[in-house]
Amino acid sequence: MKKVIIILGLLVATSYLSAQTSVWKVNWDMNAPLGQTTDFIGKFSMRGVSVEGSWFLNDNIALGGIFAWGLFYEKTGMITEHAPGYDITGHQWRYHNFTPLLFTGEYYFGTAGNIRPYAGLGAGVSFNETAKYIGLHELYSKEWMFTLAPEAGVMIPIANNVNAHVKAKYLHGFGKDADLQTFAISVGLAFTSYKY
pLDDT tens across 30-60, in order? 998 888 877 778 788 889 999 999 999 988 9
Residue 36 lies in a domain: yes
Residue 8 lies in a domain: no
Q: How many domains does the chain have?
A: 1
Measured CA to CA, the distance from residue 150 to residue 172 in angstroms comes to 9
CB 75 within 8 A of CB 90: no
The string of pLDDT tens digits covering residues 57-112 is: 988 999 999 999 999 888 888 878 777 787 888 888 888 899 999 999 999 998 87
Q: pTM of this prediction?
A: 0.80
CB 151 within 8 A of CB 120: yes
Lowest mean pLDDT among 78-92, 146-160, 182-196: 78-92
Expressed as residue numbers, the domain containing 104 is 21-192
Any idea what DSSP says for residue 113?
T
Residue 123 lies in a domain: yes
Highest mean pLDDT among 133-142, 152-161, 173-182: 152-161
Q: What is the pLDDT of residue 196?
A: 41
Residue 84 lies in a domain: yes
> What CATH number does residue 149 fall under?
2.40.160.20
Measured CA to CA, the distance from residue 118 to residue 82 in angstroms comes to 48
Mean model confidence pLDDT for the chain: 85
HSE, side-chain direction, 13 A CA sphere, residue 147: 28
Measured CA to CA, the distance from residue 183 to residue 168 in angstroms comes to 7
Measured CA to CA, the distance from residue 64 to residue 123 in angstroms comes to 11
The secondary structure element, H or E, covering residue 85 is none
Residue 56 lies in a domain: yes
Is 80 exceeded by the pLDDT of residue 22?
A: yes
First to last CA, the chain: 43
Q: How many CB atoms lie within 10 A of CB 136?
A: 7
Residue 16 lies in a domain: no
Residue 7 lies in a domain: no
Residue 2 lies in a domain: no
Q: How many CB atoms lie within 10 A of CB 57?
A: 12
Q: Where residue 20 falls among pLDDT bands split at 50, 70, 90?
A: low
